[in-house]
Amino acid sequence: MTTALHEKLKATNLKDHIGSKIGLSKAQLLSGEFAADIRELIEQRGVLVFPKIEFTEEEQVAFTETLGTMAPEMDGELLYKVTLDSSANVKADYLKGSMYWHIDGTMSKVPVFASILSGRVLSKEGGNTEFCNTYAAYDALSDDDKKAIEKLRVSHSAWATLFYYDPEPPLQKVQEMMRIGENNLPLVWKHASGRKSLVIGATAHHVLDMDHMESTQLLVRLREWATQEQFTYSHTWTVGDTVMWDNTGTMHRATPYDPNSGRMMLRTKLKGEESFEAA
């Protein structure tokens, strides 16, 4: 059913549980007039698509700033080059982990609120960005499952993602990734809004105080559950598209593509506003 918010943003839902396409013009988006509405809808829908909006770098930054406080990258830059081309991104190797379902910022107490990604250079094959709604996935669990996982905590680590794409890494690489640290987080994120979502993905190494085989089976089962068709949206890129997602209520990943394709995305982020831990 079309809501007043959808009408205001000229939004159409892409799937029942996730994703809306926004029909506003570039000028309307940059005006800031609809910023509060966009923030409201992103929390409801998880992913917003702005097709062929064709932001310049300066416009992407300006649009992000209308929505809240920007989160700079480690080097202080506001724009991040998402590419496997090491000549454009010296830490491109680290992005290999982005091919697997994850939430950004699980090494932080307060993860980024949202990310905004624009398509600049595309690969000929693959390279979709996929999202799943971890709010909807939690809501659809059985009452027994919700009760069983309610108080569980999970050890997250960046080094856990290394073994997804490099099963036999050199010790030096393992030690480098381990220096990023570990973070113990609740499996069920109890949000200030009263809603709950799952905190899982490639950084989730093991459930604390649980047999490791049982832990692995639970985390894999929840990942399979959350990434079912009804909870996911796969964005096929066109140059000029911009996609925004609620990092506190979704997981995402890139589908495989040729690392030599030159694929290039530009990302901006909104500063986190809510801790993983209930206040």
Which DSSP string do the residues of 248-271 spell out, in sequence order?
A: TTEEEEEPP--TTS--EEEEEEEP
How far apart CA 158 and CA 109 sit, in angstroms, is 14
Residue 63 has pLDDT above 90, yes or no: yes
Provide mean pLDDT across the span 167-186: 96
Which position has the token pair 């310049």?
56
Residue 75 has pLDDT above 90, yes or no: no
How far apart CA 268 and CA 10 sit, in angstroms, is 23
- What's the mean pLDDT when you consider all of the chain? 95
Provide mean pLDDT across the span 167-185: 96
What are the tokens at 185? 């987080």
User: CB 231: neighbour CB atoms within 10 A?
Assistant: 25
| Helices and strands per DSSP (H, E), number in the chain | 9, 15
Provide mean pLDDT across the span 118-135: 97
User: CB 43: neighbour CB atoms within 10 A?
Assistant: 17
Bridge pairing between strands 242-246 and 114-121: antiparallel
Residue 1 has pLDDT above 60, yes or no: no
How far apart CA 185 and CA 109 sit, in angstroms, is 9
Quick: pLDDT tens for 79-117. 999 999 888 888 878 788 899 999 999 999 999 999 999
- Taking the alpha carbons at both ends of the chain, their separation in whole angstroms is 34
What are the tokens at 254? 């890139």
| CA 11 vs CA 19, 20, 200: distances in Å | 10, 6, 29
Cβ(256)–Cβ(99) below 8 Å = yes
Residue 133 has pLDDT above 80, yes or no: yes
Residues of the chain with pLDDT > 90, as a percent, come to 91
> Taking Cα atoms as reference points, which of 164, 201, 197, 203 lies closest to residue 183?
203
Residues of the chain with pLDDT > 70, as a percent, come to 99
Quick: pLDDT tens for 20-34. 999 999 999 999 999
Residue type, 140: A
Q: What is the pLDDT of residue 278?
A: 75
Cβ(116)–Cβ(244) below 8 Å = yes
Provide mean pLDDT across the span 41-61: 97
Quick: pLDDT tens for 205-259. 999 999 999 999 999 999 999 999 999 999 999 999 999 999 999 999 999 999 9
Q: What is the pLDDT of residue 87?
A: 86
> Taking Cα atoms as reference points, which of 252, 244, 153 lies closest to residue 204?
153
Residue type, 84: L
User: CB 219: neighbour CB atoms within 10 A?
Assistant: 19
Cβ(266)–Cβ(73) below 8 Å = no
Q: What is the pLDDT of residue 26?
A: 98
Provide mean pLDDT across the span 167-173: 96
Instruction: Let me know the angle formed at the C-alpha of 76 by 74 and 80, rounded to the nearest 5 degrees.
Output: 70
pTM of the predicted model as reported, rounded to 2 decimal places: 0.95
